[in-house]
Amino acid sequence: MNKILSVLAAAVMILSSSLLYAQDYEQPAPEKVFKGTLKSTKPAGNYTYLQLDIEGKDQWVATMTKSLNPKMLVGDTIEFNNALLMKGFESSTSGDVFETILLVPQVTVLGKDMAAMPQDDTHAKIQAKAPAQAASEPKSGEIKKAKSGKTISEIYENAEALKGLEVTVRGRVMKVNKNILKNNWIMIMDGSGSAPEDNIFVVTKELVDIGDEFTVTGKVNTNVSLGGGYDYRVLIEDGSFTK
Protein backbone atom coordinates (compact mmCIF):
# COMPACT_ATOMS: atom_id res chain seq x y z
CA MET A 1 0.00 0.00 0.00
CA ASN A 2 2.86 2.40 0.83
CA LYS A 3 4.32 1.86 -2.65
CA ILE A 4 1.03 2.67 -4.31
CA LEU A 5 0.67 5.80 -2.18
CA SER A 6 4.19 6.92 -3.13
CA VAL A 7 3.36 6.58 -6.80
CA LEU A 8 0.12 8.49 -6.38
CA ALA A 9 1.93 11.20 -4.43
CA ALA A 10 4.49 11.58 -7.20
CA ALA A 11 1.71 11.67 -9.76
CA VAL A 12 -0.07 14.41 -7.86
CA MET A 13 3.13 16.45 -7.71
CA ILE A 14 3.66 16.13 -11.46
CA LEU A 15 0.03 16.85 -12.23
CA SER A 16 -0.18 19.89 -9.99
CA SER A 17 3.16 21.37 -11.03
CA SER A 18 2.52 21.10 -14.76
CA LEU A 19 -1.24 21.41 -15.14
CA LEU A 20 -1.43 18.04 -16.81
CA TYR A 21 -4.78 16.52 -17.64
CA ALA A 22 -5.53 12.82 -18.09
CA GLN A 23 -8.71 11.15 -19.21
CA ASP A 24 -7.98 7.85 -17.45
CA TYR A 25 -5.35 6.12 -15.34
CA GLU A 26 -4.43 2.61 -14.23
CA GLN A 27 -2.22 1.20 -11.49
CA PRO A 28 -0.11 -1.50 -13.18
CA ALA A 29 0.70 -4.78 -11.49
CA PRO A 30 2.76 -4.24 -8.33
CA GLU A 31 6.55 -4.42 -8.72
CA LYS A 32 6.44 -4.53 -12.51
CA VAL A 33 9.91 -3.52 -13.67
CA PHE A 34 10.21 -1.63 -16.95
CA LYS A 35 13.48 -1.35 -18.87
CA GLY A 36 14.15 0.66 -22.00
CA THR A 37 16.68 2.69 -23.99
CA LEU A 38 16.58 6.46 -23.67
CA LYS A 39 15.79 8.14 -27.01
CA SER A 40 15.19 11.74 -25.94
CA THR A 41 14.33 14.01 -23.02
CA LYS A 42 11.98 16.98 -22.67
CA PRO A 43 12.67 19.09 -19.56
CA ALA A 44 9.66 21.02 -18.24
CA GLY A 45 10.54 22.76 -15.01
CA ASN A 46 10.15 20.48 -12.01
CA TYR A 47 9.55 17.40 -14.14
CA THR A 48 11.05 15.81 -17.27
CA TYR A 49 9.57 13.67 -20.02
CA LEU A 50 11.70 10.69 -21.08
CA GLN A 51 11.11 8.99 -24.43
CA LEU A 52 12.11 5.33 -24.13
CA ASP A 53 12.29 2.38 -26.49
CA ILE A 54 10.78 -0.50 -24.51
CA GLU A 55 10.82 -3.79 -26.41
CA GLY A 56 10.72 -1.98 -29.74
CA LYS A 57 7.89 0.41 -28.82
CA ASP A 58 8.03 4.09 -27.90
CA GLN A 59 6.89 4.88 -24.37
CA TRP A 60 6.92 8.27 -22.66
CA VAL A 61 7.72 8.51 -18.96
CA ALA A 62 7.32 11.51 -16.65
CA THR A 63 9.40 11.88 -13.50
CA MET A 64 10.68 14.61 -11.20
CA THR A 65 13.71 16.42 -12.67
CA LYS A 66 15.50 16.57 -9.32
CA SER A 67 15.56 12.76 -9.16
CA LEU A 68 17.43 12.35 -12.46
CA ASN A 69 21.11 11.53 -12.75
CA PRO A 70 22.81 14.51 -14.44
CA LYS A 71 25.08 12.05 -16.26
CA MET A 72 22.12 10.40 -18.01
CA LEU A 73 22.61 10.34 -21.79
CA VAL A 74 20.64 9.29 -24.86
CA GLY A 75 21.35 5.59 -25.37
CA ASP A 76 21.48 4.78 -21.65
CA THR A 77 19.40 1.90 -20.31
CA ILE A 78 16.68 3.17 -17.99
CA GLU A 79 14.87 0.99 -15.43
CA PHE A 80 11.95 1.82 -13.16
CA ASN A 81 8.90 0.41 -11.42
CA ASN A 82 6.06 1.73 -9.21
CA ALA A 83 4.51 3.32 -12.30
CA LEU A 84 1.11 4.90 -12.84
CA LEU A 85 -0.20 4.58 -16.40
CA MET A 86 -2.05 7.68 -17.62
CA LYS A 87 -4.16 7.81 -20.78
CA GLY A 88 -5.14 10.88 -22.79
CA PHE A 89 -2.37 12.89 -21.11
CA GLU A 90 -2.09 16.60 -22.03
CA SER A 91 0.52 19.09 -20.84
CA SER A 92 -0.42 22.75 -20.84
CA THR A 93 3.25 23.57 -20.19
CA SER A 94 4.68 21.95 -23.31
CA GLY A 95 1.50 21.56 -25.35
CA ASP A 96 2.22 17.87 -25.82
CA VAL A 97 -0.53 15.27 -25.83
CA PHE A 98 0.38 11.69 -24.97
CA GLU A 99 -1.82 8.72 -25.77
CA THR A 100 -0.23 6.98 -22.79
CA ILE A 101 2.48 8.00 -20.36
CA LEU A 102 3.94 6.41 -17.22
CA LEU A 103 4.35 8.55 -14.11
CA VAL A 104 7.14 7.37 -11.80
CA PRO A 105 8.78 8.72 -8.64
CA GLN A 106 12.27 8.11 -10.06
CA VAL A 107 14.20 6.10 -12.62
CA THR A 108 17.48 4.21 -12.48
CA VAL A 109 20.20 4.67 -15.09
CA LEU A 110 21.83 1.24 -15.22
CA GLY A 111 25.56 1.43 -14.66
CA LYS A 112 25.34 4.94 -13.20
CA ASP A 113 22.74 4.86 -10.45
CA MET A 114 23.50 2.11 -7.94
CA ALA A 115 22.89 4.50 -5.05
CA ALA A 116 19.64 5.76 -6.52
CA MET A 117 17.92 2.45 -7.17
CA PRO A 118 14.28 2.30 -6.06
CA GLN A 119 13.88 1.20 -2.46
CA ASP A 120 11.73 -1.88 -2.91
CA ASP A 121 11.97 -5.65 -2.61
CA THR A 122 12.91 -6.02 -6.27
CA HIS A 123 15.99 -3.82 -5.97
CA ALA A 124 16.98 -4.48 -2.36
CA LYS A 125 18.53 -7.83 -3.31
CA ILE A 126 20.41 -6.18 -6.18
CA GLN A 127 21.84 -3.48 -3.92
CA ALA A 128 22.81 -5.98 -1.25
CA LYS A 129 24.84 -7.96 -3.78
CA ALA A 130 26.56 -4.97 -5.44
CA PRO A 131 28.67 -4.72 -7.48
CA ALA A 132 27.70 -8.16 -8.80
CA GLN A 133 24.15 -6.91 -9.22
CA ALA A 134 23.31 -8.40 -12.59
CA ALA A 135 23.69 -11.78 -14.27
CA SER A 136 25.20 -12.07 -17.73
CA GLU A 137 22.82 -13.31 -20.38
CA PRO A 138 23.67 -16.89 -21.42
CA LYS A 139 24.88 -17.42 -24.95
CA SER A 140 23.28 -19.89 -27.33
CA GLY A 141 24.24 -23.43 -26.31
CA GLU A 142 25.89 -22.31 -23.08
CA ILE A 143 23.25 -23.90 -20.84
CA LYS A 144 22.65 -27.58 -21.41
CA LYS A 145 19.03 -28.54 -22.05
CA ALA A 146 17.39 -30.39 -19.17
CA LYS A 147 16.92 -34.12 -19.60
CA SER A 148 13.45 -34.72 -21.06
CA GLY A 149 12.99 -30.97 -20.91
CA LYS A 150 12.53 -28.10 -23.32
CA THR A 151 14.30 -24.87 -24.12
CA ILE A 152 12.58 -21.53 -23.59
CA SER A 153 12.35 -21.17 -27.37
CA GLU A 154 10.59 -24.53 -27.65
CA ILE A 155 8.12 -23.56 -24.94
CA TYR A 156 7.15 -20.41 -26.83
CA GLU A 157 6.95 -22.27 -30.13
CA ASN A 158 4.58 -24.85 -28.64
CA ALA A 159 2.87 -22.66 -26.07
CA GLU A 160 -0.75 -23.46 -26.88
CA ALA A 161 -0.13 -27.20 -27.08
CA LEU A 162 1.69 -27.08 -23.74
CA LYS A 163 -0.90 -25.01 -21.89
CA GLY A 164 -1.85 -26.71 -18.63
CA LEU A 165 0.94 -29.25 -18.97
CA GLU A 166 4.03 -29.63 -16.83
CA VAL A 167 7.33 -28.71 -18.45
CA THR A 168 10.96 -28.75 -17.37
CA VAL A 169 13.49 -26.16 -18.49
CA ARG A 170 16.97 -25.24 -17.34
CA GLY A 171 18.01 -21.61 -17.19
CA ARG A 172 19.91 -18.83 -15.47
CA VAL A 173 18.12 -16.53 -13.02
CA MET A 174 18.13 -12.99 -14.38
CA LYS A 175 15.65 -11.24 -12.10
CA VAL A 176 13.93 -11.94 -8.80
CA ASN A 177 10.75 -9.95 -8.19
CA LYS A 178 9.46 -10.72 -4.69
CA ASN A 179 5.98 -10.77 -3.22
CA ILE A 180 3.91 -10.02 -6.30
CA LEU A 181 0.35 -11.25 -5.90
CA LYS A 182 1.56 -13.50 -3.04
CA ASN A 183 4.22 -15.13 -5.24
CA ASN A 184 7.77 -14.53 -6.39
CA TRP A 185 8.28 -13.88 -10.10
CA ILE A 186 11.60 -15.26 -11.33
CA MET A 187 12.86 -14.46 -14.82
CA ILE A 188 15.15 -17.05 -16.41
CA MET A 189 17.05 -17.27 -19.69
CA ASP A 190 18.77 -20.22 -21.36
CA GLY A 191 20.33 -18.66 -24.46
CA SER A 192 17.58 -19.78 -26.81
CA GLY A 193 15.07 -17.64 -28.68
CA SER A 194 15.21 -13.95 -29.50
CA ALA A 195 13.80 -10.93 -27.67
CA PRO A 196 11.20 -10.57 -26.33
CA GLU A 197 10.79 -14.36 -26.27
CA ASP A 198 14.28 -15.16 -25.00
CA ASN A 199 13.17 -15.23 -21.36
CA ILE A 200 10.30 -16.58 -19.34
CA PHE A 201 8.85 -15.79 -15.91
CA VAL A 202 8.38 -18.53 -13.34
CA VAL A 203 5.72 -17.90 -10.68
CA THR A 204 6.74 -19.62 -7.47
CA LYS A 205 6.78 -19.54 -3.69
CA GLU A 206 10.51 -20.26 -3.73
CA LEU A 207 13.34 -17.72 -3.61
CA VAL A 208 16.56 -18.10 -5.58
CA ASP A 209 19.65 -16.00 -6.25
CA ILE A 210 20.28 -13.95 -9.37
CA GLY A 211 22.96 -15.53 -11.56
CA ASP A 212 22.43 -19.11 -10.38
CA GLU A 213 21.35 -21.84 -12.79
CA PHE A 214 18.45 -24.16 -12.02
CA THR A 215 16.26 -26.83 -13.53
CA VAL A 216 12.71 -25.53 -13.28
CA THR A 217 9.52 -27.57 -13.39
CA GLY A 218 6.04 -26.10 -13.51
CA LYS A 219 2.81 -25.77 -15.47
CA VAL A 220 2.54 -23.68 -18.61
CA ASN A 221 -0.04 -20.94 -18.78
CA THR A 222 -0.61 -18.68 -21.77
CA ASN A 223 -2.06 -15.26 -22.59
CA VAL A 224 -2.11 -14.08 -18.98
CA SER A 225 -3.27 -10.48 -18.50
CA LEU A 226 -2.87 -8.73 -15.16
CA GLY A 227 -4.32 -5.45 -16.39
CA GLY A 228 -2.60 -2.13 -16.96
CA GLY A 229 -0.80 -3.47 -20.03
CA TYR A 230 0.88 -6.32 -18.17
CA ASP A 231 0.37 -9.20 -20.55
CA TYR A 232 2.35 -12.42 -20.65
CA ARG A 233 2.21 -14.72 -23.64
CA VAL A 234 3.68 -17.56 -21.57
CA LEU A 235 4.24 -18.15 -17.86
CA ILE A 236 5.44 -21.15 -15.88
CA GLU A 237 3.28 -21.39 -12.77
CA ASP A 238 3.78 -23.29 -9.49
CA GLY A 239 7.45 -23.57 -10.38
CA SER A 240 9.99 -25.59 -8.43
CA PHE A 241 13.75 -25.02 -8.66
CA THR A 242 16.48 -27.65 -8.35
CA LYS A 243 20.21 -27.32 -8.94
pLDDT in tens, 116-130: 444 455 445 444 444
For the domain bounded by 2-128, which CATH number is listed? Answer: 2.40.50.140
pLDDT in tens, 127-153: 444 444 578 999 999 999 999 999 999
Is 217:238 a contact under the CB 8 Å cutoff?
no
Round the average pLDDT of the chain to a whole number and report it: 80
Residue 20: band (very low, low, confident or very high) from pLDDT cuts 50, 70, 90: very low
What is the domain partition of the chain in residue ranges?
2-128, 152-242
Write down the pTM of the prediction. 0.50
Per-residue CA distances from 159 to 9, 131, 169, 196 (Å):
40, 37, 13, 15
User: Hey, which CATH number is domain 152-242, 2.40.40.20, 2.40.50.140, 3.30.930.10, 3.70.10.10?
Assistant: 2.40.50.140
- Report which of 76, 1, 91 is spatially closest to residue 39, judged by C-alpha positions: 76
Backbone angles phi, psi at 66, to 5 degrees: -65, -15
For strand 57-64 and strand 97-103, is the pairing parallel, antiparallel, or unpaired?
Answer: parallel
